[in-house]
Amino acid sequence: MRFPLYVAGRYLRSRRQSVYLLAVKVIAVLGIATGVAVLDLTLAIMNGFHAQLRRTFVDSMPMITVVSGEPGGFAPLGAALDSIGALPGVAGVAPFVRQEAIVTVRGRLGPARHRAAVVWGVDPDLQERVTPLDGRLLPYDRAREALRGGDGTPGIVLGAELASSLVAGEGDTVLVTSPTGDVDLNDLRAESHPCVVRGFLDTGMYEFDSKFVYLPLDAARSFFHYDPGGASAIGVRTTDMMAAPAIARAIEARLGKDRVRAMDWIELNRNLFDWIKIEKVMMFLLLALIVIVAASNIVGILTMMVGERAREIGILMAMGARWPQVQGVFVLQGLSMGAAGTALGSSLGWLGCVYLDRWGVKLPGDVYFLDRVPVVAQAQDFLFVAAAAVAISFLATLLPSYAATRLRPMEIIRWN
């Protein structure tokens, strides 16, 4: 290995190479560096968006949702809440009633407007321990007070996008309609309950803000015919979001798998996270084409070097150099250019991540669910990109280095 390494080093440091060949080498290195840097930055930004998306989902939905196998849900609640709250790693528990319904607003200047919605009956003080409400309710004081319940017409909190599509403002009366009794296509029945809009929910996620409706827990129990002390499900927040699957299994073991089902946030959003993984792989494959195009320059450079060094190759082979050694000379030259470009690109990618993390790039808040470009640089992504770039550079050296071994030394020396 010393011989190919020594000769490759001499060729790389040689001052006899043409200015054109040197310029092409620099362009090849910069091309690989650009591809590696862009790929590193793209994966880091995707990681940031995905982490922010996961955080938004976890903040807007319980990390674990425990549902009862009984038709009437949990009734009474006390024993189940105490049992779940005593488990290690549980940060908060809250009962809730969840029901799909139709929300209707009578039009001032036209027909009534109807929208499908997911109604959540919550106790705001307990719910704060599971899905934070601070900063999401507008106006906060009046909306939170309405969710505590009281006499008279129940107050309701509409998702901001849902309220916009219904053209419903604070103080307006809306009807919450849901089916009642057994589902019979020949005898469909429904109940409607009036509510007064007391606030709005703004999570920053369109899917939530266009569907979610919050009601006081007692009002939801009455609307949907649950026991006064019951609930359709129990929400759980854990101290470590990634421990949610293990804690969900512990809840089932404690309360009985035949009685309850505990679903963690990963299980509930499995399709979304599978799509995220596929998207990341596809983005890597697409952007890797930049590195492949840049590495193709190595083929041209080594082919030119084989022609430029043909006489020296012939002399080396006439002196006894074996073909693997000659091939190794050009493989090492190509790998050196690929490694230099990879190192430079990885450094630029890391510096770009540092810049985005410290100073960032602003995003329009009315379009995205965050106001700046998020970035999460992962060491395994950088290592994987670097390994892929070096592997592509190695593959690019095989054809021209093999061509060098097919030269006939006596003919080269005779005609050169």
pLDDT of residue 52: 80
Same domain, 74 and 48: no
Structure tokens at 284: 């890597």
Same domain, 102 and 53: no
In a domain, 263, yes or no: no
Report the alpha-carbon distance of residue 279 to residue 275 in Å, rounded.
6
Report the alpha-carbon distance of residue 103 to residue 275 in Å, rounded.
31
Which amino acid appears at position 45 of this protein? I
Same domain, 190 and 240: yes
In a domain, 266, yes or no: no
pLDDT of residue 111: 80
Q: How many Cα atoms sit within 13 Å of 102 on the Cβ side?
A: 13
Overall domain count for the chain: 2
Q: Which of 94-103, 118-127, 240-249, 310-319 has the lowest mean pLDDT?
A: 310-319
Q: Is the pLDDT of residue 366 over 60?
A: no
In a domain, 113, yes or no: yes
Same domain, 92 and 202: yes
Helices 379-405 and 323-358 cross at an angle (nearest 10°) of 150
Mean pLDDT of the chain, nearest integer: 82
Same domain, 107 and 219: yes
Last residue of a domain, one of 224, 258, 292: 258
Structure tokens at 375: 């970035």
pLDDT of residue 303: 76
Same domain, 229 and 288: no
Query: 171-208: per-residue pLDDT in tens?
Result: 889 999 988 766 566 666 788 889 999 999 988 778 88
380: Cβ–Cβ under 8 A, 6 or more apart, which residues? none
pLDDT of residue 236: 93
Q: Which of 78-92, 212-226, 399-413 has the lowest mean pLDDT?
A: 399-413
- Annotate 231-271 with three-state secondary structure: ECEEEEEECCHHHHHHHHHHHHHHHCCCCEEEEEHHHHCHH
CA distances from 228 to 75, 204, 217, 231, 233 (A): 9, 33, 9, 9, 14
Report the alpha-carbon distance of residue 205 to residue 52 in Å, rounded.
11
Last residue of a domain, one of 234, 258, 282: 258
Which amino acid appears at position 55 of this protein? R
Structure tokens at 29: 């290195």
pLDDT of residue 156: 93
CA distances from 416 to 10, 317, 326, 339 (A): 21, 15, 19, 33
Query: 2-43: per-residue pLDDT in tens?
Result: 766 666 666 666 655 566 667 777 888 888 899 899 999 999
Same domain, 250 and 283: no
Same domain, 52 and 90: no
In a domain, 64, yes or no: no
36: Cβ–Cβ under 8 A, 6 or more apart, which residues? 291, 341, 342, 344, 345, 346, 348, 349, 385, 386, 389
In a domain, 264, yes or no: no
In a domain, 184, yes or no: yes
In a domain, 65, yes or no: no
Last residue of a domain, one of 225, 258, 291: 258
Q: Which of 24-28, 99-103, 337-341, 407-411 has the lowest mean pLDDT?
A: 407-411
Q: Is the pLDDT of residue 285 over 80?
A: yes
Residue-number span of the structural domain to which 227 is assigned: 70-258
Global model pTM greater than 0.75:
no
- Max mean pLDDT among 51-55, 107-111, 162-166 falls in 162-166
Same domain, 309 and 384: yes
- Where does residue 392 rank: exposed (0-12), middle (13-18), buried (19+ CB within 10 A)? buried
Same domain, 18 and 82: no
In a domain, 62, yes or no: no
Report the alpha-carbon distance of residue 392 to residue 381 in Å, rounded.
16
Same domain, 133 and 155: yes
Same domain, 234 and 285: no
